[in-house]
Structure 1
Amino acid sequence: MSRIEACFAQLKQQNRAALVTFVTSGDPNYSSAMQIFKGLPDAGADVIELGMPFTDPMADGPAIQLANQRALKNGHTLRKTLQMVREFRQDNQSTPVVLMGYFNPIHHYGVDNFVRDAHEVGVDGLIVVDVPPEHNEELCEPAQAAGIDFIRLATPTTDDQRLPKVLNHSSGFIYYVSVAGITGGATASLEHVEEAVARLRHHSDLPVCIGFGIRTAEHAANVARLADGVVVGSALVDKINQAATPEQAVADVLAQCREISTGVRGARL
Structure 2
Amino acid sequence: MNTNEHTETPVQPLGFNHRDSPCETMFRRLDAEGRPAFIGYLPYGFPDPDASLDALHTMVGHGVDAVEIGLPYSDPVMDGPVIQAASQIALGAGERIAGVFRAVEAVAEAGGVPLVMSYWNLVFHYGVERFARDFANAGGAGLITPDLIPDEAGEWIEASDRHGLDRVFLVSPDSADDRLATVARDSRGFVYAAARMGVTGERSTLSASPEQLVARTRQAGARRVCVGIGVSTAEQAAKVGAYADGVIVGSALVHTLLADDGRSPRDTAEGLRLLAAKSDELAAGVRAARSR
Normalising by structure 2, what TM-score? 0.87
Aligned: 1:66 with 2:88:
no
Would you say 1:184 and 2:201 are equivalent positions? yes
| CA distance in structure 2 between the partners assigned to 1:201 and 1:166 by the alignment | 11
Aligned to 1:268: 290
Deviation at 1:50, TM superposition (A): 0.5
- For 1:76-131, what per-residue CA distance to the aligned partner results, in whole angstroms no more than 9, with x for missing partners? 11111112223443x33x42111001112212211111111001001100011122
Q: Distance in 2 between matches of 1:240 and 1:144?
A: 36
Please tell me whether the aligned partners of residues 193 and 226 of structure 1 are also in contact (alpha carbons under 8 angstroms): no
- Please state if 1:81 is matched with 2:103: no
Give 1:188 shift.
3.3
Aligned pair partner of 1:235 in 252, 260, 267: 252
Q: Which amino acid aligns with 1:118?
A: F
State the partner residue of 1:244. 266
Equivalent position amino acid for 2:58 in 1 = G
For 2:91 and 2:60, how far apart are their aligned partners in 1?
25
| 2:225–2:244 Cα contact (<8 Å) kept | yes
Pick from 49, 55, 68 the counterpart of residue 30 of structure 1: 49
Asked if structure 1 preserves the Cα contact closer than 8 Å seen for 2:78 and 2:198, the reply is yes
- Count of residue pairs the alignment pairs up: 266
Which residue number corresponds to residue 32 of structure 2?
Answer: 13
Between stretches 240-249 and 65-74, larger displacement belongs to 240-249
Structure 2: unaligned runs, 5 residues or longer: 1-19, 260-264
Partner SS for 1:41: helix
For the Cα contact (< 8 Å) 1:51–1:99, is it kept in 2?
A: yes
Matched, 1:139 2:161: no
State the secondary structure of the residue aligned to 2:286.
Answer: helix
| Structure 1 residues 165 and 2, CA gap change in structure 2 (3 angstroms) | closer
Determine which of 54, 59, 62 is the counterpart of 1:40. Answer: 59
CA distance in 2, matches of 1:62, 1:258: 24
User: Match for 2:285: what amino acid?
Assistant: G
Partner SS, residue 50 of structure 1? strand
For residue 176 of structure 2, the aligned residue among 148, 156, 159 is 159
Alignment of 1:188-227 (within 5 A): 188-189=206-207, 191-227=208-244
Residues 87 and 96 (structure 1), Cα distance of their counterparts in 2 relative to 1, 3 Å cut = closer
C-alpha separation in 2, matches of 1:41 and 1:58: 28
Q: Does 1:98 align with 2:120?
A: no
**Residue identity opposite 1:247 in structure 2:** A
Paired amino acid for 2:34: N
Which of the pair has more CA radius of gyration? 2
Distance of 2:65 and 2:222 partners within structure 1: 20
Question: Given residue 256 of structure 1, which amino acid in structure 2 is its aligned partner?
Answer: K
Structure 1 runs of 4+ aligned residues shifted over 4 Å read none
**Relative to structure 1, is the Cα distance of residues 87 and 196 closer, same or farther in structure 2, using a 3 angstrom cutoff?**
closer
Aligned to 1:51: 70
> What SS does structure 1 have at the residue aligned with 2:42?
strand
Quick one: distance in 1 between partners of 2:63 and 2:241? Answer: 14
Q: How far apart are residue 67 of structure 1 and its match?
A: 1.0
What SS does the aligned partner of 2:183 have? helix
Matched residue of 1:168: which SS? helix
Indicate the residue corresponding to 2:129 in structure 1.
112
Once the two structures are superposed, residues 182-209 of structure 1 have per-residue CA deviations (whole angstroms, 9 ceiling, x without a partner) of: 00065532x3232222111111242111
Distance 1:114 1:244 in 2: 32
**Does the 8 A contact of 1:4 with 1:96 survive in 2?**
yes
CA RMSD in angstroms, aligned pairs only: 1.5
Secondary structure of 1:97's aligned partner: strand
